[in-house]
Chain A
Amino acid sequence: MTEVKDLEALFQAKIDAEQKIEPKDWMPEKYRKNLVRQVSQHAHSEVVGMLPEGNWITRAPNLRRKAILLAKVQDEAGHGLYLYSACETLGVTRESTIDDLLSGKAKYSSIFNYPTLTWADIGAIGWLVDGAAIMNQVMLTRTSYGPYARAMVRICKEESFHQRQGYEIIAVLSKGTPEQKDMAQDALNRWWWPSLMMFGPHDGESAHTAESMKWKIKRESNDELRQKFIDRTVQQAEVIGLKVPDPDLKWNEERGHYDHGEIDWKEFWNVVEGNGPCNHERMKARIAAHENGRWVREAAVAYASKKARKKQAA
């Protein structure tokens, strides 16, 4: 008993001294579980996130935009790969992690349960969704678990390109024809609040915050990150002449931040619990990809083992 306590003290001392925890280091089981939950959820979000954007690749308005969007969605698949690998360093296989997604046991970011209805939504996703994700991910480059932090460094480099291309799409639309400007404003109207929800519940109500902060898995709270995002994004909207759909939004001189209206938490929980506009479609698409790919994966395994046997025999 004392031994575990000593180990825990050592572990915490290491974290307090800003040393990274590596896969072979001792770690409390709860730390490991917390990380598995977070990293796998993040991996699933990258992969499910390919669906709403993939929805517009074949309809992109010109060849340049099509190439950028393809490259972006491909990046997200790559992020999924790094993160599944980071998960494996915590002792869970990619297969079992994916099974948890498909059985509904594991979650992914609720934002991807909203539909991409117009081309402007592709802009809004890059600008707002990747923009919100960056806030979180920049923080995570300094997370205490080494493999997760290193995956985040690679990912962040690409995310800022994602954010820029999205903002550029929206900026071009807002300078375009009246129809295009409406399209841009409508996308902002629909994606603004769900983007704010991406940071999770208020600090007081977040189930994992305190522990995650102590272990430096997270280093800034949900509300702090959300505020940063709002402050930056409101200014970006102003530059291109779009209106953030929050009547209570105003600059607070004293705080040096924007005050904003309350998030509709009923909607948030509703979507988390599976009743968003696209929860069903997203899961159906992932399950179909997995099921339809089964014979492909089996063939690859069968061929590899045949080949290995032949090699042994020779």
Chain B
Amino acid sequence: MSNALFTYTLRLADDLLVLSHRLSEWCGHGPVLEEDIALTNRALDHLGEARNLLQYAGQVEGQGRSDDDLAFLRNERQYRNVKLVEQPNGDYAHTIARNFLFDAYHLPLMHALLKSKDDQLVAIAGKAVKEATYHLRHSSEWMVRFGDGTDESHQRAQTALDDLWTFTGELFVEDDVQKELEKAGIAPASGPIKAAFDSTVNEVLKEATLKRPEDGFMAEGGRDGRHTEHLGYILAEMQYLQRAYPGAEW
């Protein structure tokens, strides 16, 4: 059980850490100063959430690993995030669509975790719910602006959705870790989260006059540490100083 809980907590943490990394790449390059601030703010939110989760994962594991150890000294195959969050920023439509698809999953997940039997996860989700609510509002508003804005923005938003849709299946994966924790009342069932995701996506895309992509081939593997090639570069960058100067204090 503690093994499954460790993995599950890492999954929650790594989604946020990797997404935070991607969003922080925008810092100083946003399309307008207010969005630069919004994305940086969001990167900061996710970083804080990831730290709480990594600290807890370290406790669950019981090997004395800190949040920094888990962030900077695990390799590509040990990261447990979904492939969606490691996808490159692309244009602003890709970044917003990636945020939106993640948010439509993450907010109901945080809500459901409030009823978990694991007190730590309840506490962590309690802090994250408010932020996740705001994030979903921000990304939904931009999806609508893009979809119902200009021809160009509509086209870009549709392309982004079409490109990223294949990565949404993995958000609801039902594997042994998930099943074991579901049975223990720690992890919420995927079914209701998926239903909430569907209704958010349908509602927002309708208002945005965008088309929901067909469910075709769905990419998987991230939850088991089989990632896209992008993750290796993210970690090479993120972990550079810790790897180059082992044991140094910063």
Contacts and interface: CB of A to CB of B under 8 A. Distances in A.
A302 B148 CA distance: 8
Given A73-B28, A293-B92, A119 B33 contact: no
Interface in A291-305: 292-300, 302-303
Contact of A61 (B48, B67, B242): B242
B60 interface: no
Given A59-B240, A297-B32, 20 more contacts: A47-B28, A54-B28, A61-B242, A63-B68, A66-B24, A73-B27, A74-B41, A172-B249, A176-B250, A285-B28, A292-B29, A292-B91, A293-B31, A293-B92, A294-B31, A298-B149, A299-B145, A299-B150, A299-B152, A303-B149
A177 interface: yes
B102 to A, nearest CB: 19
Contacts of B146: 299
A179 interface: yes
Nearest to A58: B237
Contacts of B153: 295-296, 298-299, 302
Contact of B43 (A63, A70, A293): A70
A57 B149 contact: no
Interface centre among A50, A62, A294 (most CB of B within 10 A): A62
A70 B27 contact: yes
A289 B28 contact: yes
Contact of A47 (B33, B40, B91, B152): B33
Interface in B35-92: 35-37, 40-41, 43-44, 47-48, 50-51, 54, 67-68, 71-72, 91-92
B28 A51 contact: yes
B145 A303 contact: yes
Interface of B: 21, 24-25, 27-37, 40-41, 43-44, 47-48, 50-51, 54, 67-68, 71-72, 91-92, 144-146, 148-150, 152-153, 156, 237-238, 240-242, 245, 248-250
B36 A306 contact: no
Nearest to A305: B149
B13 to A, nearest CB: 11
Nearest to B145: A303
Contact of B250 (A70, A74, A119, A288): A119
A67 B149 contact: no
Contacts of B54: 63
Contacts of B37: 74, 77-78, 81
Prevailing SS type, chain B contact patch: helix
Say which size band chain A's interface belongs to. 35 or more
A70 B24 contact: yes
12 contacts: A61-B248, A65-B250, A66-B24, A77-B36, A81-B37, A176-B249, A179-B248, A296-B153, A298-B153, A299-B149, A302-B153, A303-B145
Interface centre among A47, A58, A306 (most CB of B within 10 A): A58
Contacts of B35: 293, 296
Interface string A38-70: 000000000100110010011111110111001
B31 A70 contact: no
Interface in A128-183: 169, 172-173, 176-177, 179-180
Contacts of B148: 303, 306
A299 B147 CA distance: 9
A31 to B, nearest CB: 27
Interface in A7-52: 47, 50-51
A212 B26 CA distance: 37
A119 B241 contact: yes
A177 B21 CA distance: 28
Contact of A59 (B47, B145, B238): B238
Contacts of B21: 58
Contacts of B248: 61, 176-177, 179-180
A295 to B, nearest CB: 5
B48 to A, nearest CB: 7
A54 B43 CA distance: 13
A77 B44 CA distance: 14
B30 A62 contact: no
A57 B27 contact: yes
A50 B29 CA distance: 9
Nearest to B146: A299
Nearest to A71: B44
Contacts of A119: 241, 250
A125 to B, nearest CB: 14
Contacts of B33: 47, 77, 80-81, 84
B166 to A, nearest CB: 25
B241 A59 contact: yes
A293 B32 contact: yes
A58 B41 contact: no
Contact of A62 (B24, B68, B237): B68
Nearest to B44: A70
